[in-house]
Amino acid sequence: MLDREPLAPTLVNRVRSDVITVSSELVRWSWARLRSLGAIGPRSRVARRFGSFGVGSIICFPGDTLVNEGAIHIGSGTLVNTGVALSAGWMPDQPDLPDRVVGIGDRCVIGAGCSIAGHLSIEIGDDVWLGRNVHITDMNHDYTDIHLPIGRQHQPEDPVVIGADSWLGHGVIVLPGSRVGRHVVIGANSVVIGEIPDFSVAVGAPARVVRRYDDGRGWVPVEHIEHIEQAGQAGQAGQVEHVEGGESAPTVPH
């Protein structure tokens, strides 16, 4: 392939090359127009099926699955990129579905290929950005009974919260019961289980906090904070032992 001989400079080859060039430009122009026309905006008929769809928000075309839009709420100025799946409940037209199962705040960016699958409650705060292929779910699969297929066992649900101003990198998975705090960074391909505190950076599977914001010192590694806290606790313990040891406090001469 790399050693391929160039085409002979004949009229036929030149015309063929021109046709291919023009055709490729036409295809790209047409695709751009289709993406623009196929996008879902606040005034579109599809948007009216959502529980709410904020001003200035858009779901780019081509999208992916949209299930029970009436229980999905999207704030203002939010961008939902191509290939994103948004679902609420177990099946289309599920009866007795709550009015709000999935909530996405204002000015969010949902990266291409993400999936947000809510069954009980998923709340994403304002100004949250998700990288590509992030998966957020509030439902898991039980596997306790070895005699019953996992898909037929209990599927426990636990609410998920993503705090405002946070950034979840490429390929992050957020599992049921997770609570990601405010202004948090989750590193690429991490798996979030449990709680991540405000103003922190977490990475890994399961995700663990590696940096936190400390007033006066800014963003510092967690081990530095833990070392200082341990030193402070040791100092306090020493003071307690000093008092409990019966040593009298110095007297002031009269």
Residues annotated catalytic, as ranges = 141
Integer Cα distance of 8 and 136 in angstroms:
55
Integer Cα distance of 86 and 74 in angstroms:
11
Cis, bond preceding 62 (omega within 30 deg of 0): yes
- Lookup: tokens for 33: 């127009």
The SS3 of residue 38 is: helix
- Lookup: tokens for 119: 């069954």
Strands (E), 95-134: 102-104, 109-110, 115-118, 122-124, 129-130
Integer Cα distance of 41 and 213 in angstroms:
38
Q: Any idea how long the chain is?
A: 254
What's the CA angle centered on 125, arms 130 and 174, to 5 degrees? 50
